[in-house]
Amino acid sequence: MITLKKVLVVAAVSCLVAGHSSFAFTPIRQIDEEFFEVVQTGDDQEINRLLAEGADVNAQDENGYTALMLAAHSGNLPFIQALIALDANVNLQDKERTTALIFAAQKFHVAVAMELLEAGANVNVQDSCGCTALHYFVQFLCRLCRFGNSKLPISYFFGDKKAPIFVSICGIITELLKRGVNPEIGDIFGNTPLDLAHGIRNGVIRDYVIALITTCRNRYLAEKTEVRPILKTYMIDDICNIVDKY
C-alpha cells in the first residue's frame, strides 16, 4: 500500500532539467492525512465520516500528491472511481507538475487512464520532464517490442473489456489523440511522441502508431482545433492478429 510516507516514482525517464511548478505547499491537516490513509483501504464508512467532518478530497501533501494521484499511481481503479464521484480534481499537479493522468501513464495503467480521460483530464499537461501522457504510453510500446511476448503480461484491461496488451496500449494512444493531445509537444530533450514511435521495434506496430500520430499531427497543424477520430490505418482486429504473430 502506498502511504504518505512512501516516495513515489514521479518519472519514467531521467530528467536532467527540472521545471518549476506553481504548486505551493500548505501544511496538511491531520484530518486530511487520515483521509489519505483511509481512502486506500476502501472503507466507505470511514471515508464518508471524514468527509462529513471536513476532510478535503483535494488536499495535497508536501510533495503535492493528492489521494487521486496515489490511487492513479497504484492503478486502483475502484478508488479512482470513488474519488471522482467525490468531485476530486483530476487536473491538480504536484511539485513536479505531474497529474493523476501522467501518473497512470508512467505506470501504464490503461483502465485508470481511461477513467481519468472520461472525467475530463487535461491531455496536454507536461510534467517536469516535458512529457505528456502520450509520451509515456509510446515509450511503453517501445519497451514491449524490445522484450517480446515472453516478458509481457498476457492482457490488459481496456475500458471494461480484457484485450491483448498491444491492443490496450494502442487503444489508449488512440483515445489521447482523439481527445486533442498535441502531438507536436516535445520533452526536455525535444523528443515528440512521433520521435519516440520510431523506436518501436515491431514494424507493423511502429507503422500503425507513426501513421496515427502523423495523421493527427498534420490535422492538428492544419486546423489547430480539437482532433477528431482518425483511426483508418489499421483496425483493432488487425492489431490482435499482429500480436498473435509477434
pLDDT of 20 strictly over 90: no
Can you give the CATH number for the domain in which 77 is found?
Answer: 1.25.40.20
Report whether 156 contacts 172 (CB < 8 A): no
| Residue 114: predicted pLDDT | 93
First to last CA, the chain: 35
Of 57, 173, 56, nearest in space to 114 by CA = 173
- Residue 164 has phi, psi (to 5 degrees) of -55, 150
Q: 11 versus 185: which is more confidently predicted?
A: 185
Q: How many C-beta atoms lie closer than 10 Å to residue 77's C-beta?
A: 17
Average pLDDT on 112-121 reads: 95
Structural domains counted in the chain: 2
User: Binning pLDDT at 50, 70 and 90, where does residue 23 land?
Assistant: low
Q: What is the pLDDT of residue 221?
A: 59
Is the per-residue pLDDT at 152 higher than 70?
no
Instruction: Report the pLDDT value the prediction gives residue 185, as an integer from 0 to 100.
Output: 93
Tell me the percentage of the chain whose pLDDT exceeds 90: 32
Within-domain flag for 74: yes
Q: Quick check: 147 and 85 in contact, CB under 8 A? A: no
CA distance 187 to 152: 27
pTM here is: 0.75
Range of the domain at 92: 27-104
110 within domain boundaries = no
Q: d(Cα 98, Cα 100) in Å, to the nearest integer?
A: 7
pLDDT of residue 98: 97
Same structural domain, 165 and 232: yes
Calpha distance 47→3 (Å, rounded): 16
- Closest by Cα among 28, 32, 37, 30 to 3: 37
Q: Residue 16: pLDDT above 80?
A: no
Domain annotation covers residue 47: yes
Residues 131 and 245 in one domain: yes
Q: What confidence tens digit (pLDDT) does each residue in 68-77 have?
A: 998 899 888 8
In a shared domain, residues 181 and 73: no
Q: Are residues 81 and 148 in the same domain?
A: no
Are 72 and 184 members of one domain? no
Do 81 and 183 lie in a common domain?
no
What is the pLDDT at residue 156? Answer: 46
The 10s digit of each residue's pLDDT in 199-229 is: 988 887 888 888 888 887 666 555 544 433 3
100 and 179 co-located in one domain: no
Any domain includes 7? no
Share the mean pLDDT of the chain.
76
The answer to whether residue 63 scores a pLDDT higher than 50 is: yes
76, 104, 132 - which closes a domain? 104
